[in-house]
Structure 1
């Protein structure tokens, strides 16, 4: 038996068949819109992740006003590494830090924002941040230089421009990744942007190995020294340095 439908019923069936898929797509899009970079007015939100893209819970988020010194809003990321903050009118930018224990030392590391452009508090923004232990910083709002550590060579009477430093990673780097052997000449006594980790350090000139030690630690000179980075100066956060003293 073949069933027949009134014209109005057929129209309703066709309307439902065509509209239902589009309604589902729209609903899914709305659910994931925060991850698509769609800001909400008066709100800055985002996420913080580690080097492997995993969430960073309890990361500190600081939203700074571009016009007024020390005028900021603070938050911490939740268990999923996400944050959301309401803002007042003004111009703002986002910074973040995370704490890591490595080589029996406490590190406070700056997080890299996916955008460092200022934004209006009334318009809101999405700013995601990620952990980096090397690479160039944004260069905006004082965020200059590199995320990697700096090695400074102290070599009284020795030509550092002819010196070759070798840094062999000892275990994984600070972010858990596998490091690579670094062989380089210091530039005006400095090696910049060294991925943060623990290294076995040697030095040589013309193939002749020199004696090395970590400066101002009371160590004896040796053929090699193993060390990790320390704050660039007392109380420094986000900037780390390794001072190597070299002698014949």
Structure 2
């Protein structure tokens, strides 16, 4: 089974809900929670107003949604909250239907000379197998390296040396049969004192991560193109670097071609409006030399432009 992130695949079955959380109820009241997840069953304790309330519910990993119930003043309340990164946001719903905002943030701590944290995608899914590192800002070639586990978590032990450290990470994967590497920056990129340790989380944003640029070339000098109306449809031939197989459209950008396309192999078509008429163009690529209204194309390495996908265009 192919995946966009081979060797750093999204670990969807693993729940990131378990553990301690801290936040607010109605934006004002202090709220604490502790969740234990077994399969899709959730148990734990909700604490506010200096009282503990046992909870029980369901974790929907596909939707990153937790739904649980607890009893307050002899009334059963329902909480529904969605997990995004390190935050849970949702509502506390009373028996009469009144909704009160709930927001929680994961409680993560780091000890002296320890860097810890998580790596997730934009939807909050953990990413396993990401190489995370800490570099000392003063000592040359002093660093520490670790990898994320199935829940996207890592812990790195630092050298007992005075001074500060910077955090970074590399996500490596495969899209369209081609390997790629993305340098990740932490959500908080402030250098930290090693003697105090730090929590450094990372978020992989596919839209700005493993992307390349599409360039167009006319098949011969007689080709007529209206670049202002030139538009491409990209249909991934298997999951792209964003983990998607859904088709999408992009317009040509003067001076830039078609930028920021997630890496992968695609079936591409193109249209333009010429003399007031919508026209389906003929294309060819380095992968498919024969001209057609839809061609298979993939990114290649260019020493100057990086990852590029080249298309040759012709009027029908």
Same fold? TM cut 0.5:
yes
| CA distance in 1 between partners of 2:175 and 2:163 (Å) | 39
> Which of these residues, 156, 178, 186, is aligned with residue 113 of structure 1?
186
Q: What number of residue pairs does the alignment pair up? A: 206
Which of the numbers 283, 291, 297 marks the counterpart of 1:221?
Answer: 291
1:151-185 CA distance string (max 9 Å, x none): 22233756674461312323554343453521312
TM-score, normalised with respect to structure 2: 0.52
Which runs of structure 2 are paired with 1:82-231 in the superposition (5 Å)?
A: 82-87=153-158, 88-111=161-184, 113-135=186-208, 147-155=210-218, 157=221, 161-162=227-228, 164-170=230-236, 172-177=239-244, 179-205=246-272, 206=274, 207-215=278-286, 217=287, 219-231=289-301
Where do 5+ consecutive residues of structure 2 fail to align? 1-48, 54-104
For the structure 1 residues 51 and 41, does the alpha-carbon distance in structure 2 shift closer, same or farther, using more than 3 Å as the test?
Answer: same
Query: In 2, distance between residues paired with 1:64 and 1:241?
Result: 32
Partner of 1:63: 134
Secondary structure (helix, strand or coil) at the match of 2:126 reads: coil
The structure in which a higher percent of residues are helix is 1
Q: How far did 1:52 drift? A: 4.3
Tell me the distance in 2 between the aligned counterparts of 1:68 and 1:162. 52
TM-score by length of 1: 0.64
Q: Do the aligned partners of residues 221 and 45 (structure 1) sit closer, same or farther apart at CA in structure 2, a change above 3 Å counting? A: same
Alpha carbons of structure 1 residues 104 and 148: separation in structure 2 relative to 1, 3 Å:
closer
For structure 1, the 5+ residue unaligned runs are 1-20, 26-33, 136-145
Distance, in Å, in 2 between the alignment partners of 1:41 and 1:175 is 36
For the aligned residue pairs, the C-alpha RMSD in angstroms reads 3.7
More strand by share: 2
Q: Which has the higher contact order (CA 8 A, sep 6+)?
A: 1
Relative distance call for 1:189 and 1:41 in structure 2 (3 A) is same
- For 1:188 and 1:211, locate their aligned partners in 2 and report how far apart those are by CA, in whole Å: 22
Cα 1:192/1:23, change in 2 over 3 Å? same
Partner of 1:36: 107
Asked if 1 retains the 8 angstrom alpha-carbon contact of 2:288 and 2:297, the reply is no
Gap change, CA 1:168 and 1:67, over 3 Å in 2:
same
Q: CA deviation at 1:82?
A: 1.6
Aligned to 2:124: 53
